[in-house]
Amino acid sequence: MKYFIGNWKMFGVPKSVNILNKINYFYTKDKNGKKYKVIITPPYTLIENFSKIFKNKKILIGAQNCFQKDRYSSDTGAVSSYMIKNVGAKYTLIGHSDNRAEGDNDKILKEKVKSALKNNLKIVFCIGENKLEKKKKKTLIILKKQISKVLDKKLDKNNIIIAYEPIWSIGTGEIPNPRELQRTIGYIKKLLKTIFGKKAPPVLYGGSVDANNVYIFKQNKEIDGFLIGGASKSSKKFIDIIKNYYR
Ligand code: PEP
């Protein structure tokens, strides 16, 4: 099973549902539609509305983040995984580099992961090195730390997806060299196997994926799908990524 996950970031109002309608129409008719899942993570403000509209449809709705405390707390502006689950989300991203930059450290991320899984959300755990770490050849060390400090074998691996997103590639148009990416994804998969055993969680790639470069990623069969930011805000761009992947 492959995954095409669209991360809308700070984008969208109720009428933006038109984008999802078009994607869902394509997805429902696509002859390859059984080979992949489409998940869209709109902002919190749209989760309930979109979850209701697509309740019995193929597209799944997720959140972009969740707060680390369970259920309710006195943290102004915070939204827990319990609250997200109760408005219909099935997934949540955790550890996106935007949120790491805002202060999400390994300890907080571990709490988020536990809380999301406890509330029956599937998680998309994002990891990735920054430009300097890459330059210093620290990528694998960073990824190992990001994974081993947060994930452990007691967690339900069936509800975990990993998204490898090099920070220097997010929103920049820069993508990793295919050979290097193959090595990195291979390393992450090996590491996950040491934690979770044989059937380890899927590993997605994220960072400037578009309809033109997806053919490069498609050569690498180890990649289980994509986390797509910018291009997921346009139905055409998102659909073209899927079309070109199966072309
Ligand atoms: C992201 O924000 O997760 C992302 C991958 O963004 P983009 O596709 O725009 O690089």
CATH code of 186's domain: 3.20.20.70
68 lines ligand 1 (CB under 6 A): no
> How many Å apart are CA 189 and CA 195, to the nearest integer?
10
Q: For 76-97, give one letter per residue: b (16+ CB within 10 A) or e.
A: eeebbbbbbbebbbbbbbbbbb
Name residue 207's amino acid: G
Greatest alpha-carbon pair distance for the chain in Å reads 50
> How many Å apart are CA 42 and CA 6, to the nearest integer?
8
Cα 70 to ligand 1 centre (Å): 28
Ligand 1 atom closest to Cα of 230? 9
60 lines ligand 1 (CB under 6 A): no
Query: Looking at the 3D structure of the chain, how many domains does it have?
Result: 1
Q: Are 129 and 142 in contact (CB under 8 A)?
A: yes
170 lines ligand 1 (CB under 6 A): yes
Give the residue-averaged pLDDT of 74-98: 98
Question: Has 111 been annotated as catalytic?
Answer: no
Read off the pLDDT of residues 160-216 as tens digits, 9 standing for 90 and up. 999 999 999 999 999 999 999 999 999 999 999 999 999 999 999 999 999 999 999
Q: Residue of the nearest CA to atom 1 in ligand 1?
A: 229
Phi/psi at 2 (nearest 5 deg)?
-105, 165
Catalytic annotation, pick one of 111, 129, 133, 165:
165
Give the residue-averaged pLDDT of 210-224: 96
Pocket of ligand 1, candidates 125, 205, 208: which has the most ligand atoms within 8 Å of its Cβ, to mutate?
Answer: 208
Structural domain range at position 167: 2-245
Q: Are 125 and 163 in contact (CB under 8 A)?
A: yes
Give the residue-averaged pLDDT of 63-82: 97
128 lines ligand 1 (CB under 6 A): no
Catalytic annotation, pick one of 96, 111, 129, 133:
96
47 lines ligand 1 (CB under 6 A): no
Cα 9 to ligand 1 centre (Å): 9
Quote the mean pLDDT of the chain.
98
Give the residue-averaged pLDDT of 115-133: 98
24 band by pLDDT with thresholds 50, 70 and 90: very high
Ligand 1 atom closest to Cα of 126? 3
Residues with Cβ < 8 Å from 114, sequence gap 6 or more? 155
C-alpha dist (Å) from residue 42 to 192, 228, 233? 28, 12, 10
pLDDT at 93 (0 to 100): 98
Within a 10 A sphere around the Cβ of 20, how many other Cβ atoms?
25
Give the residue-averaged pLDDT of 107-131: 98
pTM of the model: 0.98
From the CA atom positions of the chain, what is the Rg in Å? 17
84 lines ligand 1 (CB under 6 A): no
